[in-house]
Amino acid sequence: MASDLAYRRVLLKLSGEALAAPGSFGIDDDRLAQFAREIVDVHGLGVEVAVVVGGGNIFRGGSGNTHGIERATADYMGMLATIMNALALQAAVEHLGVQTRVLSALEIKEVSEPYIRRRATRHLEKGRVVLFAAGTGNPFFTTDTAASLRAIEIGAEVLIKATRVDGVYDSDPEVNPAAKKFAELTYLDVLSQKLKVMDSTAISLCMDNDLPVLVYNLLVPGNLTRVARGEPIGTMVRGGAS
């Protein structure tokens, strides 16, 4: 690994909505190609990259109630949506010449491997990008929680949360131009102030296992590489005083 890199192994949490065009649903070809290129560029530096992708661009579990679908069933539908996104991202990354593996918490052996922790780490050691799909495989858990869990299981040094803004703010910067950005926060800051970083289960899991979370803007080309090099962008969430 290059000496100027800050991390050896990372887990990137990418929302399903990020794959859709603004105000739309489904998968936007340009967005998909952009994120694939970002992943390939970081991988090319020598970083081992794992990805957890959401499914909100296709179906979000929590929205099932509006259709009369019970929560557990809706959550499983959301898990299936993440598999579709993972397969699309797999194709885009492999189109750029990097081998990938999709590991799913729901067994669909025709298109993915079952999630096995030791298999996942072995794929990373062999230089493959690993895409985790289907969340944790359980209803009532978000893909943010799945990202925290998988990052801890594979020994990632940081969980990188991709968002549409350049860090964590005290209010929505897309609504409030005077919103204050935080350069660094503690896990307890996030929980006590109810900041919209990740859900409380995901943050608590990171806190209990001392896994730092870096929130950055995924829409700026090259930002993921800047994160890997340790440049001061986004907001870092970890233990200690803020």
In the chain, where the domains are located: 9-238
Q: Which residues pair with 184 in a beta bridge?
A: 236
Which stretches of the chain score pLDDT less than 70?
1-3, 61-66, 240-242
Q: Which residues pair with 48 in a beta bridge?
A: 9
Could you confirm whether domain 9-238 is CATH 3.40.1160.10? yes
How far apart are alpha carbons 143 and 223 in whole angstroms? 22
Closest alpha carbon to 36 in 53, 61, 23, 24: 53
For residue 63, what pLDDT is reported?
Answer: 61
For residue 174, what pLDDT is reported?
Answer: 80
Q: What is the largest CA-CA distance in the chain?
A: 54
For residue 60, what pLDDT is reported?
Answer: 74
For residue 1, what pLDDT is reported?
Answer: 47
pTM score? 0.92
